[in-house]
Amino acid sequence: MRTGCTVFVVDDEEPICDSIALLLRSVGLSSRTFTDPRRFLEALGPGQAGCVVLDVRMPGMNGLDVQRALNERRCSMPLIFITGHGDVPMAVEAMRNGAFDFLQKPFNDDDLIRRVQKALEQDARDRTRLAQIDETRRRWEALTAREREIAERLVDGAANKVIALDLDISERTVELHRARVMQKMEARSFAQLVQMVLSLRQGPAAP
């Protein structure tokens, strides 16, 4: 099983936390349980891998408040809400705010496990993608200013000749910069370079 990945179970009712933890353990998933959402937020380290199973209705701080706090912290872990009867409007709002899924109590064990597993996979994918973007950004930041400028223009579809004219350099110089960009970015094709630059633009902290 993936290491360092934890299912955080947050529900004000101890039996619910305890039973979910046992259920997850039965399929080899490790979890941490919190009956107080504030404790959970305090305990949560940055870049934590895993997912969160969160009760919508809790005294003091409800599930939506917790979701808001996590979003503010840019925590990317998928959230699975558990809702009681009559909490559908809250569940809808949670989904609108980017929740991964929701489950209505009482739920089927398979449903919970499947969703938790999907959420963990999603988290892993997100994490891989984020790691890739970080790597791409690292490479991008290693380019010189002129190389970045030329790379941007190329990705936007400008021909070598046009770039040479605009920057008042020779077409040959443009070709040399382009080859160095491809090499530094470790792009095997021009298409891959385009993808990399676009992912930086879309991802967090776009260039």
Over the window 92 to 111, marking each residue x when it contacts other proteins by CB under 8 A and - when it does not, the resulting string is -------------xxxxx--
CB distance 133 to 152 below 8 Å: no
User: Is residue 206 at the binding interface for other proteins, with CB under 8 A as the rule?
Assistant: no
Rounded to whole angstroms, the Cα distance separating 109 from 203 reads 35
CA distance 44 to 55: 17
Distance between CA atoms of residues 59 and 63, nearest Å: 10
Which residue from 27, 131, 165, 179 is in contact with other proteins, where contact means CB under 8 A?
27
Looking at the chain, list the stretches that DSSP marks H as alpha helix, in order from N- to C-terminal side: 14-26, 37-43, 63-72, 88-96, 109-142, 145-155, 160-167, 171-184, 190-202
Cβ at position 32, least distance to other proteins in Å: 16
Residues between 62 and 81 that touch other proteins (CB under 8 A): 62
Q: Binders of other proteins among 103-162, rule CB under 8 A?
A: 105-109, 112
CB of 43 to other proteins, least distance (A): 22
Q: Which residues bind other proteins (CB under 8 A)?
A: 12-13, 15-16, 18-20, 22-23, 25-27, 57-59, 62, 82, 84-87, 105-109, 112
